[in-house]
Homo-oligomer: A and B are copies of this chain.
Amino acid sequence: MTINPDIYSELSDHIKPSPIRALMPFIRQPGVISFAGGLPAPETFPVKQIQEITHNILEEEPGSALQYGPTTGDPRLRQAVADRLSKKMGVDIEMDQVIITTGSQQALFLAAMIHVNRGESVGVESPTFTGGLSAFDPFYPNFVPFEMDQDGIKTDQVEAWFAAGNSLKILYTIPDFQNPTGVTLSLERRKHLVELAKKHNFIIIEDAPYTDLRYSGEAVQSVYSLDDSGHTYYCGSFSKIFSPIRLGWLVAPKSVIDRLNVAKQPVDTCSPMLTQALVYYFLTQNYLEPQIEKITAFYKARRDVMLKVLDEVMPEGVTWTRPEGGMFVWITVPEHVDVQALFHKAIENKVAFVTGSAFFIEGAAKQNTLRVNFVSENGEQIEEGIKRLAQSLKEML
């Protein structure tokens, strides 16, 4: 029953498992308070409405809801997404500019598939979402990391990249409450990015899974709405505002959607029609906006607890971001602290986080960083967990 290792492709040897999933065996221990995951809080799932809608779908349209569907998605859901985003962003988005994908992870994968040739440069925030890196990685890009500060990606570094004679195929950004830093890109820098994309003809992929989860401050215009040139694609997900039932979307010029359609056919033919119908009715029965209000109130309370406890218990020399939304706080510890060792110390003390190095491309890592999720655990656990983390740090200092 042994297989010759030569049977695997170069690609299979190239791609790496999620570094976060590798931490899971340590994290899943009894009594561990986990700030490590990226999961939304299940208490927020709109179960009753899902039950009602699913029942109705199976009464009224089982033949289509349980059947194969178009690769680009249920046309009704595409239209509903186009309508909602048009209204929210103050731009005109047509149905044929929207593709529905099996999670926004797939939107990123398909975009990489139709654009990235081996060795072409893909700019990324440093640090960034590991799933974003993994979506591009199968196409062997040259990842170009651009640093972040409290206003998001440093666009002067992007400008300098071009000034030095380089090019970019794609720049991947999460402008609102970025994963992992929680930072929001400033309006000024958004405008700068669009200007650079027009001048140097690269694509901006604006990933917006957290955009609706704002707890304080003012919404910033999307990069998409600032770009009248078609260089920006806008993708998002129902995972954080509804449930991770594996539905996302990407908005782009129609010609790009046609390409994504062809790319999705070999990957999974189409996304499930049942879950698409479910989200379609959730949107058009006007359940989504009240649901977002409910989630934001719920998560805001947890964020507030976490920031308050961090202020109270963290030792000198430790700093962190103060996100206005999303799910994550990014913590920077003194440079001499070994965060891998801190992770194991913290597990001993029954609290878990993700080591920051997981979110950087190789060689660019700021080792003295870590990510904590503030939505998965309740207020009491957040308070206790952050105290344990502070205690672990003090034992290391």
Complex CA distance for A64 and B243, rounded to whole angstroms = 10
The verdict on A364 contacting chain B, using a C-beta distance below 8 Å, is no
Q: Which residues of B contact A288 (CB under 8 A)?
A: none
Q: Residue on B with the closest CB to A1?
A: B230
Interface stretch of the complex, out of A109-117, A144-152, A290-298, A322-330: A109-117
Q: Which residues of B contact A139 (CB under 8 A)?
A: 9, 11
Q: Which residues of B contact A209 (CB under 8 A)?
A: none
- B63–A42 CB distance below 8 A: yes
For the complex of A and B, list the 8 residue pairs with the smallest distance between their C-beta atoms, beginning with the closest: A42-B63, A12-B114, A66-B243, A134-B266, A1-B230, A102-B268, A47-B62, A246-B272
Q: Which residues of B contact A201 (CB under 8 A)?
A: 4, 7
Interface stretch of the complex, out of A187-195, A253-261, A365-373: A253-261
Beyond the given pairs A42-B63, A272-B275, 17 more chain A to chain B contacts, judged by CB atoms under 8 angstroms and listed by A's residue number, are: A1-B253, A2-B230, A8-B115, A9-B116, A9-B139, A10-B117, A11-B117, A17-B261, A18-B265, A21-B71, A51-B54, A51-B59, A68-B239, A68-B244, A102-B246, A102-B268, A113-B138
- B51–A55 CB distance below 8 A: yes
Complex interface bits, A360-395 against B, C-beta within 8 A gives 1, otherwise 0: 000000000000000000000000000000000000
Q: Are A169 and B55 also in contact (CB < 8 A) when A262-B15, A270-B246 are? A: no
- B102–A7 CB distance below 8 A: no
The verdict on A163 contacting chain B, using a C-beta distance below 8 Å, is no
Interface size class of A (residues with CB under 8 A): 35 or more
- A68–B55 CB distance below 8 A: no
- B17–A114 CB distance below 8 A: no
Complex CA distance for A12 and B201, rounded to whole angstroms = 18
Q: Residue on B with the closest CB to A117?
A: B9
Chain A positions 251-310 with a Cβ under 8 Å from a chain B Cβ: 253, 255-256, 259, 261-263, 265-275
The verdict on A58 contacting chain B, using a C-beta distance below 8 Å, is yes
User: When the two chains form the complex, which single residue of B3, B4, B55, B169 contacts A7, counting CB atoms closer than 8 Å?
Assistant: B169
User: When the two chains form the complex, which single residue of B7, B134, B270 contacts A115, counting CB atoms closer than 8 Å?
Assistant: B7
Complex interface bits, A21-54 against B, C-beta within 8 A gives 1, otherwise 0: 1000000000000000001101101010011001
- A11–B113 CB distance below 8 A: yes
The verdict on A131 contacting chain B, using a C-beta distance below 8 Å, is yes
- B103–A263 CB distance below 8 A: no
Complex CA distance for A243 and B62, rounded to whole angstroms = 10
- B114–A8 CB distance below 8 A: yes
Complex interface bits, A221-252 against B, C-beta within 8 A gives 1, otherwise 0: 00000001111000000010001111000000
Q: Residue on B with the closest CB to A50?
A: B58
Q: Are A3 and B261 also in contact (CB < 8 A) when A45-B62, A113-B138, A131-B266 are? A: no
- A268–B106 CB distance below 8 A: yes
CB distance from A38 to the nearest CB of B (A): 8
- A266–B66 CB distance below 8 A: no
Q: Which residues of B contact A59 (CB under 8 A)?
A: 51
Q: Which residues of B contact A245 (CB under 8 A)?
A: 66, 272-274
Q: Which residues of B contact A336 (CB under 8 A)?
A: none
User: When the two chains form the complex, which single residue of B45, B261, B265 contacts A63, counting CB atoms closer than 8 Å?
Assistant: B45
Q: Residue on B with the closest CB to A17?
A: B262
The verdict on A207 contacting chain B, using a C-beta distance below 8 Å, is no
Complex CA distance for A382 and B244, rounded to whole angstroms = 42
The verdict on A105 contacting chain B, using a C-beta distance below 8 Å, is yes
Q: Which residues of B contact A267 (CB under 8 A)?
A: 105-106, 109, 267-268
Q: Residue on B with the closest CB to A130?
A: B265
Complex interface bits, A84-117 against B, C-beta within 8 A gives 1, otherwise 0: 0000000000000000011101100100011111
